A and B are shown apart, each in its own frame.
Chain A
Amino acid sequence: MNRALAPLNGIRIADFTIHAAGPFCTQLLAQLGAECIKIESKARPDAFRKPHAVYGRMSAATFDQVSVNKLSVRLNLKRPEAVALAKRLVAISDIAAESFRAGVMQRLGLGFDDLRSVKPDIILLSLSSCGQSGPDSHFAGYAPLFGAWGGLGWMTGYTDGPPVEVRHVMDHSAGIHAAAATMAALHQRRRTGHAQHVDVAAREVASAMIGDALIQASLGMTPARTGNRHSAMAPHGVYPTRQPDRWLTLAVRDDKQWQALVRELGSPAAADDARFATIDARLTHHDDLDALLIKWLSTCDADVTAERLQRVGVCAHVSWSMQDIANDPHLRARGATTEVSGPDLAPRLAVGAPARFSKTREVGIRRLTPALGQDEDYVFGELLGLSSAQRADLEAREVIL
């Protein structure tokens, strides 16, 4: 894969991000061709380099999606010399990215003003749980907390149940938003030559997912938790089928689609049932409607039914496990899933390029998870011009660690 034919070829990132949200952001930029230098340390290894016991992973990850395409160098940022080297990396980069709590970068001597002093038009991305300002900015948090703070967790759930934990998708959603905002700042730099500090608070990304409910709340309304239902579509939901734990998702927009569904599922009598004749009637009798759907679908193969319904214009899809995703030829054909393998890595699937480009086509995974410090010859040697002796000395004094 030729990075020169990717849209972000020529962009360099000094990447201080850790865990998931920030690294996912820089991974997206790297998949589109940016050169991303991950700055890390044996002293505080990133989550994927050690066991994740709370999640049940008892050893380091063999493959880490959010580290693909990245170069790795070691710097012990507790040492002033390491901070000075980090600044030299920033000085030859377009973007610096970090995901510490607010204030940590300043304490390290790597705050926005510090970085601007060595690179006057730097774009600094700060992706944190609560943002760079505000009374909660010092709060520690992980993905499930973002959803709880932001209101998305409360709004998600069965209507009669507790709120629901929104997990890694919340990290990665913050990462996509951060990538878009970072690109906007780059465009601004191209137009004005100015630096920019992009401040993304993951909890606010969660709030952006309930933007409609927040407007309601601002007017004194109490937004409803809708579960699997929709107040303008019926049937709408997730239905059991003939196979255990093989669910069919359905969304019927109008009467025409309802009639098509009735024809396909072979119960013509229902077409004449006044309870289901119009959308208003179906919404009123949604419980009865669901009971009918469950009865019909109890003899149906989920996958076959989804295909049949799609052919007649009804939105239907099986509730897919990751094994279904891995088996899907459509996702594979698009490069949304892609096989990766290496000397120490058995073939496996990973998530590929986030979009397809008609001209700058060479996007996607070019290299796998880097070993710690794997790219120091290039980064410290070629880019920063450090000699072998200098690097050995820095390593001996645990500046490079």
Chain B
Amino acid sequence: MLSDDSSQRSDLPLTGCRVLEHSRTVAAAYAGRLLGTMGATVVMLEPPGGSPLRTEPPLLEAAKQSALFAYLAAGKRSLLCDLRSPDGQQLLAHELEQADILIDDTPLRERKDRAVEPSDIAERFPSLVHVSVLPFGASGPKADWDGEEVNLLHAGGEGFLLPNGLSNERFPDRPPLKIYGHFSQYQGGAMAAFAALSAWWAVPANGGQYVDVSVQDAALSVGAFALQRLGDGSLEHRSTRRFRYGGVFEAQGGFVELLTLEDRQWQALVELLGRPAWTQDQALNDPLERSRRGDEINRHIGEWMSRHAVEDIVHRAQQLGVPAAKYRTPAEVIQGSHERSRGLFTPLTLDEGLEAEVLIAPFQFQCSRRPAFGRVPAIGEMKEQTE
């Protein structure tokens, strides 16, 4: 059984778009994943032995495969191609003849040997959109620097700012903390998908072109607000970057995120708390005064939260219009009634025939059918098809 069923994709937005993905990083693989979810046919070129992402943690013991790779490769095709060999380079050229977009994360110093030099490709495939996705981009003084997620999140500025709030209060002396998984690389991948589709849009007027995407740039881009704050005169730090009141609170049975930005939300919060005496101070009707007395307010909220069950708090809060959410575990997300109702997940067959569920995509096209993935592609399964 193959991983792709093109008959089910006839009305997805990128139907007919063909993407060649040569990836060893999460960023490039996620770019391909997003384009595939939108309906493109995405062919992974895998080296002998398979993509290094096939062994990236976390691993699924029962299926003897990587959960990360299963997530990133769902819906793609796999073609074995050794770009260091003449046969592999010939196969690359053959595939590029049919491709609209190439996603490549080959480090600069290896590109010539693997026949993925941008100038050569532009000359031979003038209508192709060639997207380079590298940790620090393909130009600039650090273009040859390498980085894993922990480096990139900090190179983009967000790592230095975490953790904030309750975690920082409890562990003020610990090192800064990365976001789970591959957050920066997902931003790089999403930016690469966006840039690829923008360049593809311009093909009728301008022909194909080369696009240089940097994971560091993307990480900075999503952290733009902190740079804006610097321009305003505030250098943010994890120990001081927090909302004046609100944030993470420990309740009975879990943790709550609470944030009230509007006056009506503050009034609803007062209602949620049962209108205790301290909230009746007229001065607190002024949002600026509330900000000045944020620590005091948070002490009261924290004490109240500690006496109530998390599910009761968030249920009542949303009824009253107080923005509040439970910190949900992955199990709660995958079983969530909201997610189920929206069809966020679809079955995915893993190695050993194991059946899992996988998140389809963080967007839906209301006028199109949802994609289905089938199984995680085996190494070189496209070759098997042709034999």
Q: Decide if A224 is an interface residue (CB 8 Å cutoff).
A: yes
Bound: A180/B218 CA distance, A: 13
Q: Decide if A227 is an interface residue (CB 8 Å cutoff).
A: yes
Nearest-CB residue, chain B, relative to A179: B194
Set of chain A residues within 8 Å of B163, measured between Cβ atoms: 156-158, 161, 164-165
Nearest-CB residue, chain A, relative to B173: A240
* Contact assessment for B167 and A205 in the assembled complex, using a CB-CB cutoff below 8 Å: no
Query: Which segment, of B90-98, B328-336, B379-387, faces chain A?
Result: B328-336
* Contact assessment for A253 and B148 in the assembled complex, using a CB-CB cutoff below 8 Å: yes
Of the residues B15, B228, B325, B363, contact of A149 by C-beta under 8 Å: B325
Of the residues B140, B194, B328, contact of A151 by C-beta under 8 Å: B328
* Contact assessment for B339 and A207 in the assembled complex, using a CB-CB cutoff below 8 Å: yes
* Contact assessment for A54 and B260 in the assembled complex, using a CB-CB cutoff below 8 Å: yes
Bound: A360/B206 CA distance, A: 8
Q: Decide if B190 is an interface residue (CB 8 Å cutoff).
A: yes
Bound: A134/B160 CA distance, A: 36
Q: Which applies to chain B's interface (DSSP): helix, strand, loop or mixed?
A: mixed
Q: Decide if B313 is an interface residue (CB 8 Å cutoff).
A: no
Bound: A354/B197 CA distance, A: 13
Bound: A62/B232 CA distance, A: 8
Q: Decide if A325 is an interface residue (CB 8 Å cutoff).
A: yes
Instruction: Return the CB mask of A57-91 against B: 1 if under 8 Å, else 0.
Output: 11001111110000000000000000000000000
Bound: A236/B226 CA distance, A: 26
Q: Decide if A397 is an interface residue (CB 8 Å cutoff).
A: no
Q: How many A-B residue pairs have CB under 8 A?
A: 522
* Contact assessment for A135 and B362 in the assembled complex, using a CB-CB cutoff below 8 Å: no
Set of chain A residues within 8 Å of B206, measured between Cβ atoms: 7, 359-360
Set of chain B residues within 8 Å of A336, measured between Cβ atoms: 137, 214, 216-217, 220-221
Q: Decide if A51 is an interface residue (CB 8 Å cutoff).
A: yes
Query: Which segment, of B42-50, B79-87, B176-184, B270-278, faces chain A?
Result: B176-184
Q: Decide if A93 is an interface residue (CB 8 Å cutoff).
A: no
Of the residues A135, A144, A331, A356, contact of B337 by C-beta under 8 Å: A135
Contact flag A354-B195 (CB < 8 Å), given A51-B287, A158-B174, A209-B186:
yes
Q: Which of B312-327 contact A (CB under 8 A)?
A: 318, 321, 323-327
Minimum CB–CB distance for B165 against chain A, Å: 5
* Contact assessment for A238 and B178 in the assembled complex, using a CB-CB cutoff below 8 Å: yes
Of the residues A7, A157, A231, contact of B167 by C-beta under 8 Å: A157
Bound: A62/B70 CA distance, A: 45
Minimum CB–CB distance for A351 against chain B, Å: 4
Minimum CB–CB distance for A340 against chain B, Å: 9
Of the residues B139, B180, B287, B321, contact of A54 by C-beta under 8 Å: B287
Minimum CB–CB distance for B153 against chain A, Å: 8
Query: In the complex, which of the residues B198, B220, B348, B367 has the most CB atoms of chain A within 10 Å of its own CB atom?
Result: B198
Q: Decide if B342 is an interface residue (CB 8 Å cutoff).
A: yes
Query: In the complex, which of the residues A112, A135, A354 has the most CB atoms of chain B within 10 Å of its own CB atom?
Result: A354
Set of chain A residues within 8 Å of B214, measured between Cβ atoms: 334, 336
Set of chain A residues within 8 Å of B174, measured between Cβ atoms: 158
| Contact size range, A | 35 or more
Minimum CB–CB distance for A236 against chain B, Å: 6
Q: Decide if A378 is an interface residue (CB 8 Å cutoff).
A: no
Contact flag A207-B356 (CB < 8 Å), given A161-B170, A196-B368, A249-B154:
no
Minimum CB–CB distance for A241 against chain B, Å: 11
Q: Decide if A191 is an interface residue (CB 8 Å cutoff).
A: yes
Of the residues B165, B187, B357, contact of A173 by C-beta under 8 Å: B187
* Contact assessment for B38 and A184 in the assembled complex, using a CB-CB cutoff below 8 Å: yes
Bound: A167/B366 CA distance, A: 28
Set of chain B residues within 8 Å of A228, measured between Cβ atoms: 150, 175, 177-178
Q: Which of B190-208 contact A (CB under 8 A)?
A: 190-195, 197-202, 206-207
Set of chain B residues within 8 Å of A179, measured between Cβ atoms: 194
* Contact assessment for A333 and B148 in the assembled complex, using a CB-CB cutoff below 8 Å: no
Minimum CB–CB distance for B295 against chain A, Å: 12
Set of chain A residues within 8 Å of B359, measured between Cβ atoms: 204, 207-208, 211, 214
Nearest-CB residue, chain A, relative to B204: A190
Query: In the complex, which of the residues A53, A210, A333 has the most CB atoms of chain B within 10 Å of its own CB atom?
Result: A53
Set of chain A residues within 8 Å of B256, measured between Cβ atoms: 148
Set of chain B residues within 8 Å of A267, measured between Cβ atoms: none
* Contact assessment for A326 and B230 in the assembled complex, using a CB-CB cutoff below 8 Å: yes
Set of chain B residues within 8 Å of A227, measured between Cβ atoms: 177-178
Bound: A322/B238 CA distance, A: 12
Set of chain A residues within 8 Å of B167, measured between Cβ atoms: 157-158, 161-164
Nearest-CB residue, chain A, relative to B333: A151
Contact flag A155-B330 (CB < 8 Å), given A58-B288, A218-B357:
yes
Set of chain B residues within 8 Å of A163, measured between Cβ atoms: 167, 248, 255, 327
Bound: A231/B345 CA distance, A: 26
Minimum CB–CB distance for A115 against chain B, Å: 13
* Contact assessment for A325 and B151 in the assembled complex, using a CB-CB cutoff below 8 Å: no
Query: Which segment, of A35-43, A268-276, A309-317, A387-395, faces chain B?
Result: A309-317
* Contact assessment for A136 and B257 in the assembled complex, using a CB-CB cutoff below 8 Å: no
Minimum CB–CB distance for B220 against chain A, Å: 6
Q: Decide if B108 is an interface residue (CB 8 Å cutoff).
A: no
Nearest-CB residue, chain B, relative to A156: B180
* Contact assessment for A197 and B209 in the assembled complex, using a CB-CB cutoff below 8 Å: no
Set of chain B residues within 8 Å of A251, measured between Cβ atoms: 147-151
Q: Decide if A226 is an interface residue (CB 8 Å cutoff).
A: yes
Q: Decide if A92 is an interface residue (CB 8 Å cutoff).
A: no
Q: List 15 A-B contacts (CB under 8 A).
A: A20-B225, A24-B224, A53-B287, A58-B291, A130-B338, A131-B342, A156-B162, A172-B223, A176-B221, A177-B190, A211-B359, A216-B58, A238-B150, A325-B220, A355-B195
Task: Beyond the given A217-B330, A232-B55, please list 5 additional residue pairs across the A-B interface where CB-CB is below 8 A.
Answer: A158-B174, A169-B158, A247-B160, A320-B157, A325-B227
- 8 closest A-B pairs by beta carbon, nearest first, are A348-B231, A251-B148, A183-B197, A155-B180, A188-B13, A217-B330, A172-B222, A211-B71
